[in-house]
Structure 1
Amino acid sequence: MASVNFDVPHDLGRAEARRRIEQGLPKLESKIPGGGQVTSEWPAEDRLLLTIIAMGQTVKADMNIADHAITGTVAIPMMLSMMAGPISEFVKTSAEKMLAKG
């Protein structure tokens, strides 16, 4: 598995950032090129685990929501390692878009 770290700064505060991410999660599946399935779990108030299944492969994202940034790691299976950059960018861009919408 390849792991790619990301950082999405914001000025919303932890609670508002979490609220916006939660609101955007249901729309995430429709944004996956070629279709896919997304499941989410909040094991702690400020930690989100995402599982994205697409093209028969599973990508996991572990995000920590803090007062001024969302940081995380995207774990990409070897079969998709050549696409690690675009996959990681998709997760980061999706988080940025969710944070931008009030």
Structure 2
Amino acid sequence: MDIDIPHQLGKAEAKRRVEAGLPKLEKHIPGGGTVTAHWPSDDVLDMRIDVMGQSIPTRLLIEDANIRATVDVPMMLKMMSGPISDFIRTSAQKMLTGPA
């Protein structure tokens, strides 16, 4: 599943805000969960969201005016694709529009 999150911050500022928001992300996972993340390159963030006994691999590509999230929803959570997509979109938007 691909999710586009437009922004007007430029790549560097968008990356900075995403990095600043990562530590808060786990607190907002419905029902609890964990997030592990690393940057394999300057503009790509690989995350793994562990929730309900399942892992959801997620990759964020930070671009000048957009963040492209690619989410691999496991079969056991396919019925939750809509809420998972909403969570990722809302979380990214909060990170991007949060304090500068």
Question: The TM-score by the shorter chain falls in which range?
Answer: over 0.9
**How far is the alpha carbon of 1:77 from its aligned partner?**
0.4
Partner of 1:91: 88
Q: Which runs of 5+ in 1 are unaligned?
A: none
Q: Deviations over 1:74-99 (max 9, x none)?
A: 11100000001110110111000000
Percent sequence identity over aligned pairs: 55
Separation of aligned partners in 1, 2:47 and 2:88: 10
Moved over 6 A (4+): none
Within the candidate set 35, 46, 50, 1:53 is matched to 50
* Correspondences of 1:4-43 after superposition (within 5 Å): 4-43=1-40
- Is it true that 1:67 corresponds to 2:71 in the alignment? no
| TM-score w.r.t. length of structure 2 | 0.97
Aligned-pair Cα RMSD in Å: 0.6
How many residues align? The count is: 99
Q: Which has the higher strand share?
A: 1
Q: Which runs of 5+ in 2 are unaligned?
A: none
| TM-score w.r.t. length of structure 1 | 0.95
**How far is the alpha carbon of 1:72 from its aligned partner?**
1.8
